[in-house]
Amino acid sequence: MQFIDIKTTRSLMATIHEVYGDDFQGINLGVFSRRVGRAMDTLGFRDPFLLDRALREKNDTFYDRFLSLLVPTSTEMFRDPAFWRSLRELLLDDLLGKYGQELSCWVASPDHTEELYSLLIVLEELGLRRHAKIYYSYLGESERARMLAGEISAAKASTDVANYTRYSGTGDLGDYLQIKNRGRYLRQDLLEGVQAIRTSASFPNWYTGQMHLVLCRNQFLYFSPSLSERNLQVISKSMVSGGILALGIKERLGNLGNSCTFIALNEEEGLYRNQPRNG
């Protein structure tokens, strides 16, 4: 993998922002440079100057391919099964009792469609899927197409089944999947009505005071302190008072310079409540 120095990394971030409007300038520079280095290897660029020149040509097809290579490879369905059990309990015992079946949920992680698919299955098993409004952040058009198709990595099939079993789902994971062209896909009826929201590292101020649940697991690990604070503010403003934020087991809100209104519900699993606001 090619090494890209910090100065060049900043320059590429600036080019992307200038030409395409995507803001990655709050991403950890080391993480971003490694991802760009891997993308260059795949695309056949030996010199970051040539990549910069190609980006400046404003070729949307090329840029979408580049973005798809920045996104980490697919994760697992029901990753960290204890987290999903805890979230299910909160949905049942907390949100459902307060707000009823018509919940609004935002999967704000633009690089893990398996998070979305897992949530859809949880809601289906609770009898909430057809009532809930689901929003999903995506980075590039190829990722959006993959999400809408319901494509799931075949390489992790056994891991997905093991995770679902440990989650203690009420059915069989295969009940929610379809096999097409030797690939695995989520059942299309589960994806009906999911709304895709174009985003980048800097979350858009696209919604206000409507979300009951926001999933943004293990994303803040890659954000600078200022971007973390900004994105937390965006998430907080998007949520109802008493809504639930899921950060995941690798992060603690106290480490993010939290000046928002979140309090811990289950810090071990990274689950927080958006505190009711005065007035």
The C-alpha angle with vertex 149 and arms to 21 and 17, in degrees rounded to 5, equals 10
The set of residues, in sequence order, having a beta carbon less than 8 Å from that of 59 and lying 6+ positions away, is none
Looking at the structure, do residues 122 and 201 belong to the same domain, yes or no? yes
Looking at the structure, do residues 104 and 153 belong to the same domain, yes or no? yes
**Any idea which residue has 């958006």 for tokens?**
274
CATH number for the domain including 210?
3.40.50.150
* E strands in 93-247: 104-107, 133-138, 151-152, 177-180, 183-186, 195-198, 211-215, 239-246
Looking at the structure, do residues 38 and 139 belong to the same domain, yes or no? no
Q: Which of 70, 92, 126 is the last residue of a domain?
A: 70
The set of residues, in sequence order, having a beta carbon less than 8 Å from that of 255 and lying 6+ positions away, is none
Looking at the structure, do residues 57 and 116 belong to the same domain, yes or no? no
Amino acid at 25: Q
Return the closest-CA partner of residue 9 out of 27, 44, 20. Answer: 27
Looking at the structure, do residues 56 and 112 belong to the same domain, yes or no? no
**Any idea which residue has 């987290």 for tokens?**
83
**pLDDT tens string 24-42:** 988 989 989 999 999 999 9
Looking at the structure, do residues 120 and 181 belong to the same domain, yes or no? yes
pLDDT in the model for residue 279: 41
Q: Is residue 220 part of a domain?
A: yes
Looking at the structure, do residues 46 and 118 belong to the same domain, yes or no? no
**pLDDT tens string 58-90:** 999 999 999 988 877 667 899 999 999 999 999
Q: Is residue 46 part of a domain?
A: yes
Tell me if 186 sits within 8 A of 153, measured CB to CB.
no
Lowest mean pLDDT among 3-7, 191-195, 203-207: 203-207
Q: Is residue 113 part of a domain?
A: yes
Q: Which of 70, 92, 112 is the last residue of a domain?
A: 70
* E strands in 66-128: 104-107
Structure tokens at 124: 């289906």
Q: Is residue 219 part of a domain?
A: yes
Tell me if 233 sits within 8 A of 227, measured CB to CB.
no
Which helix or strand (DSSP H or E) is residue 119 part of?
Answer: helix 113-125
Looking at the structure, do residues 270 and 242 belong to the same domain, yes or no? yes
Looking at the structure, do residues 189 and 97 belong to the same domain, yes or no? yes
User: 73: which DSSP letter?
Assistant: P
Q: Is residue 279 part of a domain?
A: no
Distance of CA 18 to the CA centre of its chain: 24
End-to-end Cα distance, the chain: 54
Q: Is residue 88 part of a domain?
A: yes
Structure tokens at 101: 């079946």
Whether the full predicted model's pTM is greater than 0.75, yes or no, is yes
Position 276 pLDDT exceeds 80: no
Q: Is residue 185 part of a domain?
A: yes
Looking at the structure, do residues 58 and 103 belong to the same domain, yes or no? no
**pLDDT tens string 233-264:** 899 899 998 999 998 777 777 666 555 678 88
258: three-class secondary structure by DSSP: coil
Position 46 pLDDT exceeds 60: yes
What are the strands of the beta sheet with 271-274, ordered from one edge? 195-198, 133-138, 104-107, 211-215, 239-246, 271-274, 262-266
The whole domain housing 57 covers: 6-70
Looking at the structure, do residues 179 and 228 belong to the same domain, yes or no? yes
Give helix then strand counts, H and E, for the chain: 11, 10
Position 48 pLDDT exceeds 80: yes
Looking at the structure, do residues 121 and 249 belong to the same domain, yes or no? yes
Q: What's the structural domain count of the chain?
A: 2
Q: Which of 48, 70, 92 is the last residue of a domain?
A: 70
Q: What are φ and ψ of residue 236, in 5° steps?
A: -60, -45
Q: Is residue 76 part of a domain?
A: no
Structure tokens at 115: 């998070």
